Amino acid sequence: MSRAAVSNGKGVLYVVATPIGNLEDLTPRAKRILASVDLVAAEDTRHSRRMLRHHGIERSLVSLHEHNERQVMQRVIDQLESGRSVALISDAGTPLISDPGFPLVRECHRRGIRVSPVPGPSALVAALSVSGLPTDRFCFHGFLPRQQAARRERLEQLRGEPATLVFYESSHRIAGSLADMAEILGADRPACLARELTKQHEEILPAPLGELAGVVATDPLRRKGEFVVMVGTAPEAGRSQRMQEADRVLELLLEELPLRQAVALASRITGENRNRLYEQALENKNPG
Ligand code: SAM
């Protein structure tokens, strides 16, 4: 049994963040925990073994990825139930952030197994911290749907979201996604593209969406690597005009429909945030 902490006679599941590019970004605490647990559950064991070896760590690894997650979970749970401690890592960054691990963490909570975070890199936070876009309110949407129709529909739903939007994207789809974002969210929306963070070809491109879509469409080098796309809220003038339109649609629907139905429909028609419309509808009903 390892030197890692044991709680209630059960082991601890450590959820450990690992580098998103630069291997020096593994924290000293992550190193100590990874070197002391009985088992490391990793997405791609070959990739993770290389990363661990780089830090002089040799541990037994079990592969836990999106296709075998439920089967392997039982094996990991058995280890934890018998007092052994396990570290969950993914190929890069923080597990569960667009990465496997959610069913395992939920099952640990269900069984009273302690789950402890070992925080560190995540492309989401790293990108936001350098984007120059507002970070007081942001909404993470992971990867957009692969199919263009579904992707465009999702973007339509997000048009009125009053927060900085954050997406992960791959090199295969970055050009198409940026083109759709510029068309649906608005070419003048402030945005930032973070490419290959912490790696040799790191690039942070703050520019309106239309410009970003153009740059990526015309330069094949800019389509290489891993990406985080961040989109700020619509410029104030356009936004308030859209809000006024949404309020007018809401007012008309409220004349014909019950409040909830009117709000839902107005939100679908205009892309405006449902909660804001709900508050507006209550205000219309009880002015002052
Ligand atoms: N769990 C990871 C995290 O905490 O960031 C994310 C895993 S997800 C499967 C992989 C995606 O994260 C990539 O397609 C890319 O969108 C983003 N990503 C990961 N590393 C990155 C990097 N170094 N630079 C930019 N984006 C990155």
Q: What pLDDT is attached to residue 239?
A: 59
Protein residues with CB under 6 Å of any ligand 1 atom: 20-21, 90, 92-94, 97-99, 122-124, 168-170, 194, 196-199, 226-228
5 within some domain:
no
CA distance 188 to 238: 10
Name every residue whose Cβ is closer than 8 Å to that of residue 225 and which is 6 or more positions away in sequence. 171, 195, 196, 199, 201
CA distance 46 to 50: 6
In this structure, the answer to whether residues 33 and 129 fall within a common structural domain is: no
Predicted confidence band of residue 237 (pLDDT cuts 50, 70, 90): very low
1 within some domain:
no
In this structure, the answer to whether residues 115 and 21 fall within a common structural domain is: yes
Q: What pLDDT is attached to residue 265?
A: 94
Tell me the percentage of the chain whose pLDDT exceeds 90: 85
Structure confidence by residue, pLDDT tens digits, 98-147: 999 999 999 999 999 999 999 999 999 999 999 999 999 999 999 999 99
CA distance 169 to 178: 10
- Cα-to-centroid distance, 149 and ligand 1 (Å): 24
Look at residues 61, 94, 121 and tell me which one is the last residue of a structural domain: 121
2 within some domain:
no
Average pLDDT, the chain: 93
Structure confidence by residue, pLDDT tens digits, 47-99: 999 999 999 999 999 999 989 998 899 999 999 999 999 999 999 999 999 99
Our mutation pick for probing the ligand 1 site, out of 20, 166, 229, counting the most ligand atoms within 8 A of Cβ, is: 20
What's the one-letter identity of residue 11?
G
Is it the case that residue 241 has pLDDT exceeding 80? no
- Cα-to-centroid distance, 167 and ligand 1 (Å): 10
Is it the case that residue 242 has pLDDT exceeding 80? no
DSSP conformation class of 86: E
Exposed / middle / buried, residue 109 (Cβ in 10 Å: 0-12, 13-18, 19+): exposed
Predicted confidence band of residue 225 (pLDDT cuts 50, 70, 90): very high
Q: Model pTM greater than 0.85?
A: no
138 within some domain:
yes
Q: Which atom of ligand 1 is nearest to the CA of 121?
A: 4
| Residue burial 187-226, b: 16+ Cβ < 10 Å; e: rest | eebbbbbbbbbbeeeeeeebebbbbbbbebbeeeebbebb
Q: Which domain holds residue 273?
A: 236-285
Helices 274-285 + 236-256 axis angle, to 10: 60
End-to-end Cα distance, the chain: 66
In this structure, the answer to whether residues 106 and 129 fall within a common structural domain is: no
In this structure, the answer to whether residues 105 and 158 fall within a common structural domain is: no
Closest CA to 190 of 133, 126, 124, 125: 133
In this structure, the answer to whether residues 218 and 246 fall within a common structural domain is: no
In this structure, the answer to whether residues 111 and 156 fall within a common structural domain is: no
| Mean pLDDT, rounded, for 170-189 | 97
In this structure, the answer to whether residues 82 and 128 fall within a common structural domain is: no
In this structure, the answer to whether residues 189 and 258 fall within a common structural domain is: no
- Cα-to-centroid distance, 91 and ligand 1 (Å): 9
| Mean pLDDT, rounded, for 168-192 | 97
Q: What pLDDT is attached to residue 236?
A: 63
Q: Which atom of ligand 1 is nearest to the CA of 90?
A: 1
Q: Structurally, how many domains does the chain consist of?
A: 3
- Cα-to-centroid distance, 230 and ligand 1 (Å): 13
Give nearest CA residue, ligand 1 atom 8: 98
Closest CA to 233 of 271, 266, 282, 194: 271
Q: What pLDDT is attached to residue 5?
A: 56
Our mutation pick for probing the ligand 1 site, out of 67, 124, 130, 226, counting the most ligand atoms within 8 A of Cβ, is: 226
155 within some domain:
yes
Structure confidence by residue, pLDDT tens digits, 5-53: 566 899 999 999 999 999 999 999 999 999 999 999 999 999 999 999 9
Q: What pLDDT is attached to residue 62?
A: 97
Q: Residue 168 to residues 136, 223, 228, 230: CA-CA distances in angstroms?
A: 19, 14, 5, 9
DSSP-derived 3-state class of residue 189: coil
Q: What pLDDT is attached to residue 7?
A: 62
Give nearest CA residue, ligand 1 atom 16: 168
DSSP-derived secondary structure for 113-167:
-EEEEE----HHHHHHHHH-S--SSEEEEEEPPSSHHHHHHHHHHHTB-SSEEEE
